[in-house]
Amino acid sequence: MKSRFLLGAALVAAPFAAVSVEAQAVPKIKNVIVVVNDGGGPTVYDAYRMFKGKLPVTSTTKFKKTWVSTHPLRPDSTTNNTPGTDAQDPSVVYDSAKFWDTTPIAGPSTVSGYGNYPAAFAGYEWSRFAHPDSGNTASSLSNGVKTYNNAINVDGSGDPQTTIVDLLQASRKAGKRTGIVTTVEFSDATPSALGGAHNIARANRQAIAAEMFGTGNLDVIAGAGNPDFNNDGQPQTANYNWISQNLWTDLKNGTNIFGGNSWNFRLVQDKSEIVDLANGSVPAPEKLAMIVKAFTSLQFNRSGDTTDPSVPHTKEPFTDPLNTNIPSHKEMTLAALNALGRTSNPKSGKAKGFYLMTEAGAVDRAEHANNTARMLEEMQASDETVQAIIDWVNRDDTDATWNNTLLVVTADHDHVLYGPDADRIPFQGLKSNGVGKTPRHKWFGPNHGTGLVPLYAYGRGADELIALATNVDSYTDGEGRTFGHGNYLDQTDVGNFLKAAVASQAD
């Protein structure tokens, strides 16, 4: 796998300033845990730090930090079905001079979908134009290759990347247990790409769900998307948007009448059962499906506010009562960890480690709604999850130690969120309103941006991963103002590193 990693990294490095990977070997790593804060760009972390009045867990000294470029293969959202058309469009490749361009632009944004917001500066406009989506970026993290927006582990021409093993396949090949957890629908873009599905479009959700349950490559599938419950955790007329009626029927009945549940997943929906699994008070089944009693998200879409970015969202975080019959991101992640890596679990005992991806998917949903308070709620749930993962690895009765486990916390892409006067002060930071309050800020779109996102790494292999960040983000404008995050690597480099890590086969 080492040679594959070097080859892949060399190819993707071509359009960038050279990424020097050849000097870095990937150490032997037994367990790989990836936390994705969907949409978790730097100003999201700033907002969370101001709200809490303290640093998030990832800013403690255990973690090493770097930055990641997330741009797409090209600025479109469909495959052109033309074999071989996976060349990088240079107009969207991350470029400090384009991203930090402080040239003022009057009037509204001219980028499609952003017209209700001021253009403000050339850099904002380029960030909007060159933005990736979660299918695209999760595919890069999964298989180390750039693709178009909406793709799920297919290349620029829409081909499943059969010649390029994805992170889930690589984990399976190496004899690992595997799982995905999300706070949004289990068959949405991030969990499906990082859970080894392949599709030309993320919208083909029933097919994606069928693949996730059908290959046998996943041992834990966890998230929302439950057909029978609404966003307040209450019964609804069945809605099979995220899973087919046949597969759902087989899961509920513990059967395989319709052929989609040949691996005999055990469906768990009740919060109390998931909490028991999280506590380790009951043994996990070999194949665990935790589809919680919520349709699109654990908490973000609950009543009390709208998802409309054009209306002001004035409530502070946690003003609206939380859904009480839904487990937390932390509880679902602990249940998954116990199923994958608890030494008392016979399957874990025989496995050669595990790979788990756990996503705070509704950070991004709240950003699309420009609902900063609910974004902060989701970040808090994610921060508590990261702390719980650390505590779990530190336990004696798990398969993991910091000598054999790598924890990566990153984002798939950024949004366009800056300070309250950032329409006239370029890239102005957010302003604190005090602890427990939403900071002062301004949204510059209802959709993603292409800014660098943070990556935090802790444990085995963290130093080697951080060392790959040899590009430098730095820009000085005409007025002598300096901008930039410093060293960064590309998301494809992260994906290639993770694939090499799961294949490294520690003892």
Residues binding Zn ion (CB under 5 A): 364
Residue 107 near residue 119 (C-beta atoms within 8 A) = yes
CA-based radius of gyration for the chain: 21
Rank residues 365 and 499 by Cβ distance to Zn ion and give the closer one: 365
* Nearest approach, Cβ of residue 2 and Zn ion (Å): 34
Rank residues 169 and 447 by Cβ distance to Zn ion and give the closer one: 447
Spatial neighbors of 36 by CB under 8 A, at least 6 apart, are 138, 141, 190, 194, 357, 358, 359, 360, 361, 410, 411, 412
Rank residues 331 and 364 by Cβ distance to Zn ion and give the closer one: 364
Residue 390 near residue 51 (C-beta atoms within 8 A) = no
Rank residues 364 and 473 by Cβ distance to Zn ion and give the closer one: 364
Q: What pairing do the DSSP bridges indicate for beta strands 453-459 and 64-69?
A: antiparallel
Which tokens belong to 61?
A: 């000294």
> Position of tokens 């004035």?
314
Burial 14-44 (b: 16+ CB within 10 A, else e): eebeebebeebebbebbbbbbbbbbbbbbbb
Dihedral angle over CA of 165, 152, 195, 2, nearest 10 = 20
* Nearest approach, Cβ of residue 367 and Zn ion (Å): 7
* Nearest approach, Cβ of residue 447 and Zn ion (Å): 7
Residue 119 near residue 44 (C-beta atoms within 8 A) = no
Spatial neighbors of 140 by CB under 8 A, at least 6 apart, are 70, 146, 147, 490, 491, 492, 494, 495
* Nearest approach, Cβ of residue 364 and Zn ion (Å): 4
Rank residues 166 and 364 by Cβ distance to Zn ion and give the closer one: 364
Distance CA 330, CA 158 (A): 35
Comparing CA positions, the residue from 481, 409, 309 lying closest to residue 37 is 409
Residues 187, 190, 196, 201, CA torsion sign: positive
Rounded to 5 degrees, φ, ψ at 354 are -150, 165
Comparing CA positions, the residue from 489, 478, 473, 457 lying closest to residue 62 is 457
* Nearest approach, Cβ of residue 350 and Zn ion (Å): 38
Rank residues 353 and 451 by Cβ distance to Zn ion and give the closer one: 451
Nearest residue relative to Zn ion (C-beta): 364
* Nearest approach, Cβ of residue 87 and Zn ion (Å): 26
Residue 414 per-residue DSSP state? E
Rank residues 364 and 383 by Cβ distance to Zn ion and give the closer one: 364
* Nearest approach, Cβ of residue 134 and Zn ion (Å): 6
* Nearest approach, Cβ of residue 142 and Zn ion (Å): 17
Rank residues 115 and 259 by Cβ distance to Zn ion and give the closer one: 115
Report which residue type is found at 203: A
* Nearest approach, Cβ of residue 484 and Zn ion (Å): 25
Rank residues 232 and 364 by Cβ distance to Zn ion and give the closer one: 364
* Nearest approach, Cβ of residue 416 and Zn ion (Å): 12
Spatial neighbors of 342 by CB under 8 A, at least 6 apart, are 280, 284, 348, 397, 398, 399
Rank residues 142 and 348 by Cβ distance to Zn ion and give the closer one: 142
* Nearest approach, Cβ of residue 39 and Zn ion (Å): 6
Comparing CA positions, the residue from 465, 489, 435 lying closest to residue 70 is 489
Rank residues 113 and 175 by Cβ distance to Zn ion and give the closer one: 113
